[in-house]
Amino acid sequence: MTRTLLPSAVLAVSLAAGCAQGIADRDGADVHFDADSPVAGALNVMGFAAQDEIGQTRLDAAGEAMPDVDVSLVEGELDVQQFMSAVSTGEPPDLIYANRDQIGTFASRGAIMPLDDCLDGEGIDIGLFREPAVAQVSFGDSVYGVPEFNQVQITMANADLLAEAGLDVADVNGSDWEAVTAANRELHHTEDDGLSVIGFDSKLPEFLPLWAKANGADLLSADGRTAHLDDPAVIEALEFAVAIYEEQGGFGAVKALRDSADFFGSGNQFASGSLGAMPFEQWYVNILNDVSPDAPLAFDTFRDRRGEPLAFASGSAWAIPEGSANPQAACRFLKTMTATDTWLAAAQARADARAEEGKPFTGLLTCNVEADAQIRDRFVDETTDSVWAEAVTATYTANAHTFSLPANPADAEFEAAWQDAVNRVLNGEAAPAEALREAQTVAQEALDTAWAQWAQR
Amino acid sequence: MGAAVRAARRRSVRPRLAPWLFIAPWLLGFAVFTAWPVLYSGYLSLTDYDVVNDPNFVGFDNYVRMFEDPKVGLALWNTFVYTVVQVPLYVLVSLALALLLNRAGRGAGWFRTAFLLPKMTPPVAVGVLVLLLLNGQQGALNEFLGWFGIDGPNWTTDSAWVKPGLILMSLWTVGSSVLILLAALRAVPEELYDAAVIDGASGWYRTTRITVPMISPALFFVVVVNTIGAFQTFTEAYTAYFGAGNSTYGNDAALFYVIYLFQQGFEFFHMGYASAMAWLLFLVVAVITAVQLVVSRRLVHYEGDR
């Protein structure tokens, strides 16, 4: 009688005291998550490396929050095959750091555990995180990952080339496709030996979701079950983005010039004047600031056809593998890593490091709404009359206007289907409508099969 | 008497047992790391298996699906075209270099090392090099062609030129074949050439009538090994068109069979389907190798043969 009463009593007392607790079922055994319980033992983390002050500061914070836990890192990007094999052999890592677009695949196959109890037990408010990011890590009715970092796209342009052509960054921010087409025509330059200046780079294949959304279409339904690749708005978006390349001699010419640039060096496309404008992810602002601080740059948000800022969110997420030997420590670790205070400490470290180098702090997109706001308020200076301040403002605006593709059990196949279609168009093997119709069939078949298999499990 | 019989038996068993004991470690390794995975992949090819959950038996569904999947046909065709062009070219270049090396004097050692050095380069690095050297705008190959007034193509994006570009880059690693052929050339008896010279045979005649027949076993070995290698080509093309070099851009012209197999198995986690694809590849390579063996009986000359 004591055996049955004691846990009930503890639970009742805990609930009455308002203590956060969660209980998850793991291989038939209950896993208790409790913010007030100490955690100990080993914690093996796969896919994360504390490569910079942001990572190291947060790792230190996690160490302080869990002094009795021995954290070991399997560094480098998550090796999906290694991870899945480890799960299948019953010896998974205790925690993984994955791309958010992998969560659906892992969750649907039962490779990671739902975090609902972890969130409840540790008192993690998932509502603090950006909704599009949470959508990427939610599968079925559960949250399977805690998101962090947000990559968003902003418009980057060469101010000198724009001025020479009598243009403004508003002509290339995507809000007016006719204006973008006209600007591309003005900005690109061809010499005897081929294209010498790319006017506008629509960044295909990877940015098709962005162009489609700008045209009012999602590639995938919100429930992750229905592909919309043959939606007329998607086809129109692809036709527009491909026509940008055709105007410049075809994708081959643009890609050859793009690939020949010193992307991460002082000879980058903006510094060398070989690119007019493109939408691109905000992390490149730091690179440009580091390697070519005097390059003639102009920034704005990327905008949809109604003129509203728009960005396709991507980033990372923490997830606990099914069969993790120390899920309690894993949950505490991810809670600490994504907590507002931890992010503030990391931002302080980054701001100090940048100040030491005499460079501006260009912000930090954490995916934690509260942390983003406080970091922007405390550490980011947007009052200076500089293009870098423009970039920061554009970045934070984009961060507030993101969308994402929902998690689904055929993440990789769906992505491969639409990317293959775009590539076939870029390689001149199919027209946009034809390629996207074929991709629709392939993608929908993959989704239907994967959802059916998930339902059987 | 009994003891004598037992001793005699021991003596007769020992010689028979000894070879097995010597090769036992290899046999064990072969059984565990090769035979068992091969047999297990045969079983997996009859299942739906996603690595994490238990395999689900589906009979011959995966094999049926292969014939309905247009990408399997495309990948097989790409691989076949690549093999048909690459292998003869690879062997010809290897033979030409080996013949030159055979005539080299003091510098032969240096050249032998130089030819082999590219083989030391990781294939992933070669994949990235493909993109740099074959860049349509500023690549070294088009720069070279430009000296002769030739406007080179976009090797990495023009579907018609993707495979030729990869074939050219594959010649980067002819070094090992050159050494094999060189060793064979060194073994050709000098008196055969002396006799041919006395008979007034030209250099071309000596090469085609003496050298090539005499090194035909080595040539045959190089052809067979490179044919199998060509059917399994993966790393360079994957890196350049589907992996680190191009995370999103790809070109169907570079979709070789093993690349598609890898995508199915390790990106989409269709291990059953990937296993079925692997067995089809095994079948194709086995048939082609068998044909090569049959043809070789007429073309390959082994010393001691009548």
- State whether B252 and A428 contact (CB < 8 Å): no
pLDDT at B281 over 80: yes
Q: Any idea which of A20-29, A107-116, B94-103, B160-169 has the lowest mean pLDDT?
A: A20-29
CA distance linking residue A449 with residue A423, whole number of Å: 24
Q: Does A267 contact B at CB distance below 8 Å? A: no
The residue type at A265: G
Pair B19, B107 in one domain: no
Residue A6 counted as domain residue: no
Residue in chain B closest to A415 (alpha carbons) equals: B248
How many domains does the structure of chain A reveal?
A: 2
- State whether A255 and B138 contact (CB < 8 Å): no
> Last residue of some domain: A347, A366, A397?
A347
Q: Does A416 contact B at CB distance below 8 Å? A: yes
Q: Which of residues 114-143 of B touch A (CB under 8 A)?
A: 131-132, 135-139
Q: What is the mean pLDDT of chain A?
A: 90
pLDDT at B161 over 70: yes
Q: Does A4 contact B at CB distance below 8 Å? A: no
Pair A89, A163 in one domain: no
Pair A113, A243 in one domain: no
Pair A140, A180 in one domain: no
Nearest-CA distance from A342 to chain B in Å?
Answer: 32
Nearest-CA distance from B248 to chain A in Å?
Answer: 6
Q: Give the relative orientation of helices B36-44 and B271-299 as an angle to the nearest 10 degrees.
A: 120
Looking at residue A302, which CATH number applies to its domain?
Answer: 3.40.190.10
Supply the pLDDT for residue A6: 35
pLDDT at B285 over 50: yes
Nearest-CA distance from A86 to chain B in Å?
Answer: 9
Pair B24, B73 in one domain: no
Rounded to whole angstroms, what are the CA distances from B72 to B65, B67, B169?
Answer: 10, 7, 24
Closest CA to A64 of A353, A332, A366: A332
| Stronger pLDDT, A37 or A162, i.e. the higher one | A162
- State whether A259 and B135 contact (CB < 8 Å): yes
Q: Does B194 contact A at CB distance below 8 Å? A: no
* Chain centroid offset of residue B42 CA: 23
Residue in chain B closest to A206 (alpha carbons) equals: B248
The closest CB to that of B159, out of A253, A429, A457, belongs to A429
pLDDT digits 0-9 by tens, A248-302 = 999 989 998 988 888 899 989 999 999 999 999 999 999 999 899 889 999 999 9
Supply the pLDDT for residue B247: 60
Nearest-CA distance from B252 to chain A in Å?
Answer: 7
Supply the pLDDT for residue A9: 35
Pair A227, A332 in one domain: no
How many domains does the structure of chain B reveal?
A: 2
Q: Residue A358 — very low, low, confident or very high, per pLDDT cuts 50/70/90? A: confident
Q: Does A105 contact B at CB distance below 8 Å? A: yes
Domain that holds residue A342: 23-148+315-347
Supply the pLDDT for residue A25: 53
Looking at residue B74, which CATH number applies to its domain?
Answer: 1.10.3720.10
The closest CB to that of B251, out of A109, A427, A446, belongs to A427
The closest CB to that of B154, out of A84, A256, A419, belongs to A256
Supply the pLDDT for residue A22: 56
Q: Residue B253: its chain A contacts at CB < 8 A?
A: 427
pLDDT at A29 over 70: no
Q: Which residues of B65-101 are buried (b: 16+ CB within 10 A; e: fewer)?
A: bbeebebbebbbebbbebbeebbeebbeebbebbbeb
Q: Residue B53: its chain A contacts at CB < 8 A?
A: 109-110, 457
Residue A396 counted as domain residue: no
- State whether B266 and A412 contact (CB < 8 Å): no
Nearest-CA distance from B90 to chain A in Å?
Answer: 27
Pair A422, A275 in one domain: yes
Pair B256, B208 in one domain: yes
Q: Does A194 contact B at CB distance below 8 Å? A: yes
Residue A4 counted as domain residue: no
Q: Which residues of A381-405 are buried (b: 16+ CB within 10 A; e: fewer)?
A: eeeeeebbbbbbbbbbbbbebbbbb
Q: Does A423 contact B at CB distance below 8 Å? A: yes
pLDDT at B1 over 70: no
Rounded to whole angstroms, what are the CA distances from B71 to A416, A431, B58, B79, B242?
Answer: 13, 19, 21, 12, 15
- B290: exposed, middle or buried (Cβ count in 10 Å: 0-12, 13-18, 19+): exposed
Supply the pLDDT for residue A24: 55
pLDDT digits 0-9 by tens, B197-234 = 998 989 889 988 999 999 999 999 999 999 999 999 99
Pair A420, A288 in one domain: yes
CA distance linking residue A216 with residue A240, whole number of Å: 14
| Stronger pLDDT, B243 or A431, i.e. the higher one | A431
Pair A182, A284 in one domain: yes
Q: What is the mean pLDDT of chain B?
A: 88
Residue A97 counted as domain residue: yes
Pair B80, B33 in one domain: no
Residue A353 counted as domain residue: no
Pair A206, A133 in one domain: no
Supply the pLDDT for residue B72: 96
Residue A196 counted as domain residue: yes
CA angle A174, A180, A184 (to 5 degrees): 135
Q: Any idea which of A6-15, A111-120, B139-148 has the lowest mean pLDDT?
A: A6-15
The closest CB to that of B248, out of A105, A256, A419, belongs to A419
β-strand pairing of A146-151 with A314-319: antiparallel
Find the length of chain B.
306
Supply the pLDDT for residue A149: 94
Pair B9, B72 in one domain: no
Residue B304 counted as domain residue: no
Query: Rounded mean pLDDT of A442-448?
Result: 96
pLDDT digits 0-9 by tens, A378-430 = 998 877 768 899 999 999 999 999 999 999 999 999 999 999 999 999 988 99
- The pTM for the full model equals 0.87
CB A219 within 8 A of CB A234: yes
Domain that holds residue B25: 2-44
Q: Residue B59 — very low, low, confident or very high, per pLDDT cuts 50/70/90? A: very high
Supply the pLDDT for residue A440: 97
- The ipTM (two decimal places) reads 0.85
pLDDT at A19 over 70: no
Query: Rounded mean pLDDT of A113-126?
Result: 94
Residue B53 counted as domain residue: no
Pair A301, A340 in one domain: no
Pair B295, B167 in one domain: yes
Residue B63 counted as domain residue: no
Supply the pLDDT for residue A3: 39
Q: Residue A30 — very low, low, confident or very high, per pLDDT cuts 50/70/90? A: confident
Residue A367 counted as domain residue: no
Pair B270, B199 in one domain: yes
> Last residue of some domain: A324, A347, A370?
A347
CA distance linking residue B94 with residue A279, whole number of Å: 47
Interface test with A, best of B40, B51, B52 (most A CBs within 10 A): B52
CB B301 within 8 A of CB B214: yes
- State whether A87 and B248 contact (CB < 8 Å): no
Establish, for the pair of chains A and B, how many residue pairs have beta carbons separated by less than 8 Å.
Answer: 90
Query: Rounded mean pLDDT of B116-141?
Result: 83
Pair B21, B111 in one domain: no
Query: Rounded mean pLDDT of B50-61?
Result: 92
Supply the pLDDT for residue A14: 35
CB B166 within 8 A of CB B237: yes
